[in-house]
């Protein structure tokens, strides 16, 4: 088992069914590596390991692997799925949604000004429409909690989803109809060639005036100048961003100072090292039995 030296918390990991080799620290023969755990392995690294049985992604998205044009397609790629990760992401989404829905930024400004300014909700909870771009494990988990709170919830995904009280949209043809019914848009898509740049001027224009955008997927989903333009013209009311095309976000980025943008530094949900190790330990055991874990990714679709 080989792990990147950059991955904090795992460089001293011990697995009862594998010796852990740290890339850049330990010497090893390429043919001795059976498994890899990483988030963004160096291009060509996996192709250089002739006996590799499987690769384990240390996060929910696998674009860090599939962006390598030389990824060996014979090697199964395992996505990290964890209920705690889903719960933490849901907490983050609830925080941003409720801060917007309950107009907390308005009251923060009133407090700074020393003013007693009462304001009602822009719309009732049951009239507030929340839409998910992507309804995988995390999106489905979060959608159910928002339904429980009384919001109208819909989702756009590759395949139809059967979630009680959720309106499901599927395929490119349905995207515009989906966007037209969304007051708060959440991006949780996997990053693929098809989804890169999906948060763009055309998408924002399809949303109702005053819509709010949350991106917790990948920075490459968002065309940042298009977002700023949609905010500045008043079509969008705000955005909460946890991921960016360049991380750390450069100090000169206009997003930092934009009054209608909330920025967090890619911390919406963080994989805990011990949970990751347990997941990988169990996954290796499955492969060693000659079986395949349920969370192996389809290389063609990146899901």
Q: What Cα–Cα distance (Å) separates residue 14 from each residue in 22, 194, 280? A: 11, 38, 11
- Per-residue confidence in pLDDT tens, the chain, 303 aa: 576 655 556 667 677 667 888 888 899 999 999 999 998 899 999 999 999 999 999 887 899 999 999 999 999 999 999 999 999 999 999 999 999 999 999 999 999 999 999 999 999 999 999 999 999 999 999 999 999 999 999 999 999 999 999 999 999 999 999 999 999 999 999 999 999 999 999 999 999 999 999 999 999 999 999 999 999 999 999 999 999 999 999 999 999 999 999 999 999 998 888 888 889 889 999 999 999 999 999 998 888
User: What's the rounded Cα separation, in Å, for the pair 35 and 277?
Assistant: 13
Give yes or no: 235 in active site. no
Options 158, 218, 235, 281, the catalytic residue: 218
User: For 141-260, where are the E strands, in sequence order?
Assistant: 152-157, 166-170, 184-187, 211-215, 236-241
Distant-in-sequence contacts of 226-229, Cβ < 8 A, 24+ apart: 226/199, 226/200, 226/201, 227/199, 228/254, 228/255, 228/258, 229/201
Give yes or no: 117 in active site. no
Options 103, 266, 281, 289, the catalytic residue: 266
CA angle 147, 153, 171 (to 5 degrees): 140
Structural domains in the chain, sorted by start = 2-82+271-288 (3.40.50.720), 83-263 (3.40.50.720)
How much is the pTM? 0.92
Number of H helices, E strands in the chain: 8, 12
Is residue 92 classed as helix, strand or coil in its secondary structure? Answer: helix
User: What's the rounded Cα separation, in Å, for the pair 209 and 66?
Assistant: 36
CB 180 within 8 A of CB 204: no
| Number of Cβ atoms within 10 Å of the Cβ of 12 | 8
User: What's the rounded Cα separation, in Å, for the pair 47 and 272?
Assistant: 28
User: What's the rounded Cα separation, in Å, for the pair 246 and 55?
Assistant: 25
Q: What Cα–Cα distance (Å) separates residue 233 from each residue in 11, 181, 228, 237, 256? A: 48, 20, 9, 10, 18
């Amino acid at each position: 088992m080989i792990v990147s030296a950059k991955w904090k918390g795992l460089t001293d990991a011990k697995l009862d069914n594998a010796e852990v080799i740290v890339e850049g620290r330990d010497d090893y023969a390429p043919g001795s590596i059976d498994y890899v755990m990483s988030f963004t392995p160096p291009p060509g690294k996996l192709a250089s390991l002739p006996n590799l049985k499987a690769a384990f992604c240390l996060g929910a998205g696998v674009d860090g692997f599939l962006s390598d044009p030389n990824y060996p397609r014979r090697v199964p790629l395992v996505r990290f799925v964890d209920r705690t990760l889903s719960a933490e992401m849901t907490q983050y989404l609830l925080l941003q949604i409720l801060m917007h829905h309950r107009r907390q930024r308005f009251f923060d400004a009133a407090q700074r000004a020393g003013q007693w300014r009462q304001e009602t909700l822009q719309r009732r909870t049951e009239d507030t429409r929340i839409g998910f771009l992507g309804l995988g494990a995390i999106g489905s988990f979060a959608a159910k909690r928002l339904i429980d709170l009384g919001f109208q919830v819909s989702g756009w995904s590759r395949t139809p989803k059967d979630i009680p009280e959720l309106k499901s949209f599927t395929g490119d043809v349905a995207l515009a109809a989906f966007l037209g019914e969304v007051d708060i848009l959440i991006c949780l898509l996997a990053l693929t060639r098809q989804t890169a740049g999906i948060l763009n001027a055309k998408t924002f224009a399809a949303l109702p005036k005053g819509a709010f955008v949350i991106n917790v997927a990948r920075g490459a989903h968002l065309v940042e100048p298009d977002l700023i333009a949609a905010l500045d013209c008043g079509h969008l009311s705000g955005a909460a961003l946890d991921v960016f095309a360049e991380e750390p976000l450069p100090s000169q980025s206009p997003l930092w100072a934009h009054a209608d943008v909330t920025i967090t530094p890619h911390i919406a949900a963080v994989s805990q090292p011990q949970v990751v190790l347990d997941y990988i330990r169990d996954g290796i055991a499955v492969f060693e039995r000659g079986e395949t874990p349920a969370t192996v990714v389809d290389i063609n679709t990146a899901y």
